[in-house]
Amino acid sequence: MGRRERWRRRGRHAGERRRPGGSDLPARARSAAPYDASKKRARGRRGLLLAPCGERGVLQRTGWPWRHDSQRTLRCPVVGQTGDGARMMGALKRGMESAFLGLASLIPAQLMAHLLFLLRNRPNLTDRWGYHIRAVHYYEPIPDFRRITPAQLARQRVSPAIDFRITGQRTLLRRLGESFGAEIVELAGKPEPSGFDFANPYCSGLDAAAYYALIRDLGPAVVLEIGSGYSTQIASKALERNVEAGKPGKLLCVEPYPEPRLTASSARFELVTTKVQDLPLEFFDRLGANDILMIDSSHVATVGSDVCFELLEILPRLKPGVWVHVHDIFFPTDYPAEWVLERRQAFNEQYVLEAFLAFNSRFSVQLANAWMWRHEHETASLLFDGADTVAPPASFWMRREA
């Protein structure tokens, strides 16, 4: 048998062992065992997996795709490279990207616009890449960032259709500060895991302090989070203190994309890795008076989005007495200029919430942290002094009334 024939046969048999696209996979993945029906779950397929989280088992769904989230950072180490090698590869990558962008800037604007126009009319092609090409147009949901100014975003807009109950907010902050301010100072002074980092960039400062204090004050039987992370850690610590006081409560987290800061934390909770809009509405009927629903999801209202499901379907069916926390709400101003003008984020949850509250007597404003931090700073400082705040307060609290 000649060398050519041996190569041909070897390639044929190797091809029989290789999965489709196997040449692009690591060797171990190409040679892995096929699906075993007795195990009830194929490799890489979405299924249910019992995995540890904190000190209890939780139900997790495997195979979720990665998503882009401007608030999250994905770090991908260079495989096989450490130390100087990894730094050299990183510098090489940045140099290539800079060169590519430099070449792109030389393309005439009219030619580039025509190229993007062609791509826009081939959505099946760009969908494969994970991007949508849309023109800057007043019919599009993405605003024309070129025409937005910092002054426009900083302008205060106070709706006469919403009672913000400023006096009631002052009273609540004073009471929470008197009752639980010492506990918050104690938490801030301890290193993790016994303490809490109030200077984290996600749930920090006044937002974290108010969340902790309200859980301690209300003594909820259920705290249900839609979107989890640092908020889960501070909620877990408050619930632990409630257990010591004889008021046990359960912490449920709906988070389809759990990150290590959640799963690797010492917080005690039950994790549901299903998208909130895929859950039955009856799931939220467990919330009763003094329970808490915390919403920190995509911040975008669009077709089939979590925000539409939360504000249009979940909130109207909540029982009287349920407290609702919506994160990243900046009443009475717009979203921060850095988010809009630098990051090009087109969040719109705040506008839908404002419309929801207008002339709505079924929900009462309890605490607007951004407002109180800006205009009632002395009162807000009774709960948290703000010395280590790394992000502007943006928690908004309301309660379902009878």
DSSP line for 332-372: TS-S-HIIIIIS-----HHHHHHHHHTT-TTEEEEEEHHHH
- From the number of C-beta atoms within 10 Å of its C-beta (0-12, 13-18, 19+), residue 322 rates as buried
Mean pLDDT over 350-367 rounds to 98
> 265: pLDDT confidence band, cut at 50, 70 and 90?
confident
How far apart CA 13 and CA 394 sit, in angstroms, is 61
Q: For residue range 87-109, what is the model confidence (pLDDT) as tens digits? A: 889 899 999 999 999 998 999 99
Closest by CA position to 207, among listed 368, 28, 34, 11: 368
Q: State the pLDDT at residue 77.
A: 43
pLDDT at 86: 84
Query: Residue 295: which H helix or E strand, with range?
Result: strand 292-295
Q: In this model, does residue 298 exceed pLDDT 90? A: yes
Q: Is 64 within 8 Å of 256 (Cβ atoms)?
A: yes
The predicted structure's pLDDT at residue 2: 57
Per-residue pLDDT for 27 more than 60? no
- State yes or no: pLDDT of 69 exceeds 50: no
The pLDDT, as a whole number, for residue 21 is 39
Query: Would you kindly state where each structural domain of the chain is located, as residue ranges?
Result: 84-133, 154-400
Q: What are phi and psi of 47, to 5 degrees?
A: -160, -170
Q: Round the average pLDDT of the chain to a whole number and report it.
A: 83
Q: Tens digit of pLDDT for each residue in 143-188?
A: 999 999 999 999 999 999 999 999 999 999 999 999 999 999 999 8
* Burial of 133 per CB tally in 10 Å (0-12, 13-18, 19+): middle
Radius of gyration of the chain (CA): 25
| Interior angle at CA 359, CA 355 and CA 361, nearest 5 | 115
CA distance 118 to 103: 20
User: Which tens digits make up the pLDDT trace of 234-257?
Assistant: 999 999 999 999 999 999 999 999
Least confidently predicted of 109-118, 234-243, 388-397: 388-397
pLDDT band at 313 (very low <50, low <70, confident <90, very high): very high
Tell me, what's the pLDDT at 388?
53
Is residue 383's pLDDT more than 80?
yes
Question: 69, 257 in Cβ contact below 8 A?
Answer: yes
H helical segments located in 50-165: 84-105, 109-120, 123-129, 150-154
Helix, strand and coil content of the chain, in percent to the nearest 5, comes to 45, 10, 45
Give me the percent of the chain exceeding a pLDDT of 90: 68
pLDDT score recorded for residue 118: 94
**What tens digit of pLDDT does each residue of 132-142 get?**
999 999 999 99
Q: How many CB atoms lie within 10 A of CB 58?
A: 18
pLDDT of residue 261: 77
Q: Is the pLDDT of residue 79 over 70?
A: no
Which CATH superfamily hosts domain 154-400? Answer: Vaccinia Virus protein VP39 (3.40.50.150)
- For position 263, what pLDDT does the model report? 81
User: What pLDDT score was predicted for residue 389?
Assistant: 62
- Report residue 85's pLDDT band, with 50, 70 and 90 as the boundaries: confident
Burial 15-51 (b: 16+ CB within 10 A, else e): eeeeeeebeeeeeeeeeeeeeeeeeeeeeeeeeeeee
pLDDT attached to residue 82: 60
Q: Is the pLDDT of residue 335 over 80?
A: yes
In what helix (H) or strand (E) does residue 181 lie, and over which residues does it extend? helix 166-189
pLDDT of residue 15: 40
What does the pLDDT read at residue 387? 58
What torsion do the CA atoms of 8, 10, 14, 15 make, to the nearest 10 degrees?
10
Could you identify the residue written with the tokens 């494969």?
A: 128
pLDDT of residue 130: 93
| Selection from 351, 391, 384 nearest residue 230 by Cα | 391
Beta bridge partners of 252: 224, 270
Q: What is the pLDDT of residue 1?
A: 56
CA–CA separation, 279 and 185 (whole Å): 38
Tokens (6 digits) for 389? 């705040």
Edge-first strand order for the sheet with 222-226 is: 47-53, 56-62, 270-272, 250-254, 222-226, 292-295, 323-326, 396-400, 363-368
Q: How far apart are CA 158 and CA 224, in angstroms?
A: 30
Indicate if the pLDDT at residue 49 is higher than 90.
no
- For residue 225, the cross-strand partners are 253, 294
H/E element holding 293? Answer: strand 292-295
- Which pTM was predicted? 0.76
Average pLDDT of span 279-284: 98
Extract the tokens encoding 56. Answer: 């209890």
| Cα–Cα dist 305/350, whole Å | 14
Average pLDDT over residues 201-230: 96
